[in-house]
Amino acid sequence: MRVPETIQLWAREPAETGDGDGDTSDFRDYRDFRIADVFTGNPLEGNQLGIFLDGRGLDSDMMLKATREMNYSETVFFLPPQHPEADARVRIFTPGGEIPFAGHPTLGSAWVIGEILGKNSVILQMGVGNVPVELERDGDTITFGRMSQPIPTWGPYDRAAEVFEALGVPARQGGDGLPVEWYRNGPLTVYVEFPSEEAVATLAPDMGKLGRLPINLSCFAKTEDGWITRVFAPALDLVEDPATGSAAGPLALHLARHGRIKFGEQIQIRQGAQIRRPSVLYARVDGTENAIERVLVGGRAVIVARGEYRLA
């Protein structure tokens, strides 16, 4: 479904301009919004994203209230870019607060902005800097998007014993699976390998214990056609995420660093089936461990709803 061509970004004059942190008292009560299902081509699957096309005049508290009203894992607000190369500034909120970067908000935002501007590539200004997204089309219809993610930092995770306790599984023995490591590309994600798809699918974490760790936790395993992952983050007000783009790129890097895949090899990642929101993500890391060139994550999206939201 395409965003109507009559829509233009920031077509109306706001009560206040700038970075979106102004007084909302004399701005319009109604805001155009979209809902996208991201990392899927099918409505009512993938990861839901709330999208406000014009965030000017909304302060951070109002953005957070609107995000909690939407009640999705993330909601985004479009603002005029402050960087000359960017097409839009995008602020990302979870129900727990603002975050500098996330994958499915990046792809969903680029999908909508690409439709509105009619562009095959867009640059989004985010908390981590400018994030470019390439869009593939069939005629006028966007069919696939691929973001170039921030290159993560990484290291060993020193609270692995607490992770295994929260997951209710025995502590990792030497040589049994890849080392438990953290990666940061904005969010902090910890990666734990399991021996089978069934082992991942049947996990039932103690969310109280897991919530004491301020991390995203990616539990993953090899499958016949790629990889499966489940991502938990109760400390961030997110029990389980249907599709985590920010965790997909570092997963590919984790696998490449430890020889499970080759650098430059694209992997398919399935996520979300256990919470009835099946999603498919694609990730690739170009370069070498000592000279990473690009971390690419892609997938599809579909706009499932549009309208006006009353915020005040």
By annotation, the residues acting in catalysis are 74
Burial class (CB in 10 A: 0-12, 13-18, 19+), 5: exposed
DSSP 8-state code for residue 253: H
Pairing of β 121-126 and β 88-94 = parallel
Strand partners, 299: 145
Amino acid 285 reads: V
Among 138, 196, 129, 207, which residue's Cα sits nearest to residue 168?
A: 207
Q: DSSP letters of 209-246? A: HHTTS-SEEEEEEEETTEEEEEEEEGGGTEEEES--HH
CA torsion sign, 121 to 151 to 293 to 299? negative
What is the Cα 275 distance to its own chain's centre? 17
CB atoms within 10 A of CB 176: 10
Burial class (CB in 10 A: 0-12, 13-18, 19+), 214: exposed
Residue 204, SS3 per DSSP? coil
